[in-house]
A and B are shown apart, each in its own frame.
Chain A
Amino acid sequence: MRGNAVQRRSLFRLAGLVPAILLVTILFLGAFVFAVLQSLGYAPQYGITSFPTLEYYHTLLGGSSFWNSLRLTFYYALVPTFIGAVISLYLALSLARKFKGKRIALFLYRIPMVVPYLVGVSLVILLFANGGLLARALFALNLIEAPSDFTRLIQTESGIGIMLVYLWKQVPFMTLVLYANLLVLGRQDEESAGLLGATQAQIFYHITLPKMIPSLVTATLIVFAFNFGAFEVPFILGAGFPNTLPVEAWRLFDSPDYTNRPQAMAIVTLISLLSAGCLFLSFYMYRWFERTRGRG
Chain B
Amino acid sequence: MMRFTIWHKLFVLFFLCCFVGPFLPLAVASLSFRWGWPDLLPSVWWWERRDSVRSPIAWDYIIDPVSRVMPAIGNTVLIAILVTVFSLIIAVPAARVIARQSFRGKSFVEFYLMMPLIVPEIAVGIGMLVIFLNIGLHGSVFAIVLAHMVPVLPYTVRMLVNVYGELDKGLLEQAHLLGASRRQTLLNIEIPLILPGLVAASLFSVLISTNIFLLTFYMGKGQVDTLATLLFAKISAGGALDPVSAALTLIITLPGLLFLVISNRVINENVFVGGIDRS
Contacts and interface: CB of A to CB of B under 8 A. Distances in A.
Q: Do chains A and B touch in the complex (CB under 8 A)?
A: yes
A28 B253 CA distance: 29
Given A112-B19, A118-B232, A272 B131 contact: no
Contacts of A109: 15-16, 19
Given A27-B147, A177-B273, A229-B120, A114 B256 contact: yes
Contacts, number: 278
Given A28-B124, A30-B131, A115-B252, 10 more contacts: A27-B146, A90-B11, A109-B15, A116-B252, A118-B231, A119-B253, A136-B38, A173-B277, A250-B126, A276-B118
B163 interface: no
A125 B279 contact: no
B253 A24 contact: no
B116 to A, nearest CB: 5
Interface string A252-278: 010000000100110011011001100
B66 interface: no
B277 to A, nearest CB: 4
A168 interface: yes
A149 B102 CA distance: 65
Interface string A107-124: 111111111111101110
B150 to A, nearest CB: 5
Nearest to B149: A23
B40 A253 contact: no
B235 A229 contact: no
B4 A123 contact: no
A98 B2 CA distance: 8
A286 interface: no
A242 interface: no
Contacts of A236: 235-236, 238
18 contacts: A13-B101, A16-B92, A20-B94, A21-B94, A23-B150, A27-B128, A31-B128, A33-B127, A95-B12, A111-B20, A112-B19, A126-B26, A131-B37, A180-B272, A226-B277, A268-B126, A271-B120, A271-B122
Given A19-B94, A27-B147, A136-B37, A32 B124 contact: yes
B4 A24 contact: no
Contact of B93 (A16, A34, A275): A16
A136 B122 contact: no
A87 B127 contact: no
Given A13-B101, A116-B211, A133 B25 contact: yes
Interface in A207-263: 222-223, 225-226, 228-232, 235-236, 246, 249-250, 253, 261
B29 interface: yes
Interface string B140-166: 000000110110010001000000000
Contact of B118 (A27, A112, A137, A275): A275
Nearest to A137: B40
Contacts of A222: 277
A122 B276 contact: no
Interface stretch (B45-53, B56-64, B176-184, B257-265): B257-265
A252 B91 CA distance: 36
B252 A228 contact: no
Given A21-B113, A116-B211, A116-B252, A173 B276 contact: yes
A240 to B, nearest CB: 10
Q: What's the interface size class on A, roughly?
A: 35 or more
Interface of A: 10, 13-17, 19-21, 23-24, 27-35, 38, 45, 87, 90-91, 94-99, 105, 107-119, 121-123, 125-127, 129, 131, 133, 136-137, 139-140, 147, 155, 168, 171-173, 176-177, 179-180, 183-184, 187, 190-191, 194, 222-223, 225-226, 228-232, 235-236, 246, 249-250, 253, 261, 264-265, 268-269, 271-272, 275-276, 279
Given A99-B9, A272-B123, A116 B19 contact: no
Contact of A119 (B128, B252, B259, B272): B252
A21 B149 CA distance: 12
A147 to B, nearest CB: 6
A171 B97 CA distance: 36
B189 interface: no
Contacts of A16: 92-94, 96-97
Interface string B205-226: 0010011011000000000000
Given A27-B149, A122-B231, A269-B123, A21 B131 contact: no
A92 to B, nearest CB: 11
B203 to A, nearest CB: 10
B153 A97 contact: no
B26 A122 contact: yes
Contacts of A111: 19-20, 253, 256-257, 260
B279 A114 contact: yes
Contacts of B22: 123, 126-127
A239 B34 CA distance: 27
